[in-house]
Amino acid sequence: MLRSLATSIQCHEMKRKSPRSKETATKPKTHDEYLAHVSADKRAALQKLRRAIKAAAPDAEECISYQLPAFRVNGKFLVAYGAAANHCAFYPGSVLTDLKGELRNYDTSKGTLRFPPEKTLPVALVRRLVKLRMVEKKKTNS
């Protein structure tokens, strides 16, 4: 019993000191800080996505939500984007179901559109998704 307690304490100490732990990891505070820590190919793809979002929603404010670069309008979450190990992702929420047919060639799941960094999302598609999301947000705020 004493031995398992000692092992448990050691594991806890290792978790606390782990460079990947939440306590020691630096969380991005801006979109630029987030993008500075992703690979060059993903950064280029995400910067293009960021520009498309800004063009579609010029009044949207940049923020960080759940450690991802996001945009909000009137203080409410609009969309987000991010990078994972093997892909980039755009998070426009439930409006993906509105364009199900157009998105059949993409890897999607509930509220998420994944794409390889070398095959960026078309600006027109991003614009449509952002505009649909803004309409959806207006309906829920009315």
Q: What phi, psi does 79 have (nearest 5°)?
A: -145, 170
pLDDT < 70 stretches in the chain: 1-25, 142
Interval 6-37: pLDDT, tens: 334 343 333 344 333 444 468 999 999 999 99
Would you state the pLDDT for residue 140?
78
Would you state the pLDDT for residue 68?
98
Which residue segments constitute the domains of the chain, with CATH numbers given?
Answer: 25-133 (3.90.1150.200)
Would you state the pLDDT for residue 72?
97
CB proximity list for 4: less than 8 A, separation 6 or greater: none
Would you state the pLDDT for residue 84?
96
Would you state the pLDDT for residue 22?
46
User: Model's pTM, two decimal places?
Assistant: 0.81
